[in-house]
Chains A and B, each alone.
Chain A
Amino acid sequence: MSTSIQLNKVVKAYGPLRAIKGIDLSIEPGEFTVFVGPSGCGKSTLLRMIAGLEEISDGDLLIDGERMNEVAPSRRGIAMVFQSYALYPHMSVYKNLAFGLETMGAKKDEIDRKVRHAAEILKIDSYLQRRPKALSGGQRQRVAIGRAIVREPRIFLFDEPLSNLDAELRVQMRVELSRLHQQLGNTMIYVTHDQVEAMTMADKIVVLRDGQVMQVGKPLDLYNRPANQFVAGFIGSPKMNFLPAKLAGNAGAAGEGATLEVAGTSLPFGRALPPALAGEALTFGVRPEHITVGGEAGVFLGEVEVQLVEHLGGQTVLYVSTKGGEMLTVVIDGQMRVTHGEKVALRVDPALCHLFNAEGLAIAA
């Protein structure tokens, strides 16, 4: 009974300003989709447009193939969990859950059954008579989710629901939400600016920037094959390192691929590149966890000076500077004895490196 959502060239305009610039997107039934992007990218606006709280200026919203642009929010079969929870402060938890059903005109015993069922799923049955004011942040969060569940919607929308919780509770609720999704099987859309939440929960991630879709894909696809420099930098933590690069030569005949000039080092890239790129200002990208210090594996990236070391126990994070003054982050598994000011040699596996053209688009090789 899951539901698909289809966005066709959806636009949100405030006067001449276009907050959402023509988004095409299709969400499969039962999928957990995460909209992620920096603040102001339009992800919440897009969610509110799907909910019906914002008008759609242009384009079509289809739910199960049916056009929903002018349909009232309550008739779209959608429930939404707000960032601030938006619990009705003057009603008990029970009343908060029952309110939507009462509005729909459901019978008393049916309301009672549904409320108790939702309360059981979320383990909030012990404080149904309390007011929201008397609950902790995590409990309020559950009530807000419960209010969404009781209405048995086709689609759940979450607008940064975990951002008001402390770090520990956030991890816990993240797991619970994923479990809830497995249990209910509904289509869910989740908005966050936290790429960790996106990576851990999503079936599909939609990366947004300035009201445009930057890339859509499975979490690992976005991590392994970012379509552009923005996605490459946004997905993954710590952030991917970027260095200016130039195409030094194509040794296609020998089968060794192109050679790049990166941070004063000539680096065999392993793959052939279009000769048209010669002379263009390119950007070379490598994730901190894909750089190794010393050893023989991979190819030589350059000798750098250690500026700062963070020992996390399981990992060691190095902040280093190249001869040219560019800063790089390096993540080494395990513990490593290294001190400030030390010179180390960095090596990379060319297969795990990324290359972007002057427009920031990934160069497929």
Chain B
Amino acid sequence: MNRPPIPRGPGAARHSIRRSAFIHAGLIVASFVMLYPLLWMLSGSLRPENEIFGGSSLIPSHISLDAFVRGWNGLQISFGTFFWNSLVISVLATIGNVFACSLTAYAFARLKFRGRNFWFALMLGTLMLPYHVTLIPQYILFLDMGWVNTILPLVVPKYLAVDAFFIFLMVQFFRGIPRELDEAAMMDGCSAWRIYRKIMLPLSLPVMATAAIFSFLWTWEDFFGPLIYLNDMKSYTVQIGLRTFVDSTGSSDWSSLFAMSILSLIPIFLLFLFFQRALIEGIATTGMKR
């Protein structure tokens, strides 16, 4: 049925445009304020060193990519090595985290074993334990094992499901998958392992993606862990590499620092760009049956 449009006065249209313009202006200003530090860093990496702390303007007097070249090659070790180290640690840690946490979560969500609730509560308890409390005992342990100055302390624990947060996230998600699917698979002759691999994993891709992305992000960004365990410059990660530009005693190469910082953001940016759908789905549907 076609209904004639409700006549509206020119005043109403003008009012709506003004309102919309007002809202847009507000949002643009807010976005700019939030993006300003990032833009300032980008501009700092492209402008001459003496201009960086000179004013609040974002427009460089002239653009040069020198800082990128200087940053990449300026240290004894090329920044490419740092990127490679970061990538290796992050990828290995992510694989370990997703694999081990999902197995553990499957056990907590589905398998019956003695003291399940107790162990689950204990695992959740570790969520409340600050990293710094376990830092020294952990360091001593790894020192005794001869693992300091290798990537093992940063990677191996991830294969032992140490991230209670991800386990919790996955347990909630698994609980949302109807138990009758497990039972049907059981009647079909599946072992617990096959149910996990063929039924649970494919059905929980959103939560796996969420865990993988955060896992990668947090390992990539991690400064403290590599700082403690990696002493040799050859094994530095990007974050530790960035620190070497800032010298507390002498001069600091700020534009190189900014240039490399910009580069270090690129993998994270790409990750979000490609996986944001999966990420949003994972966060939105965790623990809920779709």
Contact = CB atoms under 8 A, between A and B. Distances in A.
Same complex origin of A and B: yes
Nearest to B290: A89
B247 interface: no
Q: How large is the interface on A (under 10, 10 to 19, 20 to 34, 35 or more residues)?
A: 20 to 34
Contact of B184 (A52, A75, A78, A82): A82
Contacts, number: 51
Nearest to A83: B180
Contact of A53 (B183, B190, B194, B199): B183
Contacts of A88: 181, 184-185, 199
Interface string A51-67: 11100000000000000
B33 interface: no
Interface string B73-110: 00000000000000000000000000000000000000
Contacts of B181: 86, 88
A84 interface: yes
A100 B199 CA distance: 12
Contacts of B184: 80, 82, 86-88, 147
B189 interface: yes
A83 B183 CA distance: 12
A163 B187 CA distance: 21
A3 to B, nearest CB: 16
A102 B180 CA distance: 19
B202 A151 contact: no
Given A74-B189, A100-B189, A86 B183 contact: yes
A73 interface: yes
A127 interface: no
Interface in A29-60: 51-53
Interface string A301-339: 000000000000000000000000000000000000000
B203 interface: yes
A108 interface: no
Contacts of B202: 90
B189 A82 contact: no
Contacts of B203: 89-90
Contacts of B144: none
B178 interface: yes
Interface of B: 178, 180-181, 183-190, 194, 198-199, 202-203
Given A53-B183, A103-B194, A104-B189, 20 more contacts: A53-B186, A53-B187, A73-B187, A75-B189, A79-B187, A80-B183, A83-B180, A84-B178, A86-B178, A86-B181, A86-B184, A87-B184, A88-B181, A88-B199, A90-B202, A99-B198, A100-B187, A100-B189, A147-B188, A151-B188
Interface of A: 51-53, 73-75, 78-80, 82-84, 86-90, 99-100, 103-104, 147, 151
6 contacts: A52-B186, A53-B187, A74-B186, A82-B183, A86-B181, A90-B202
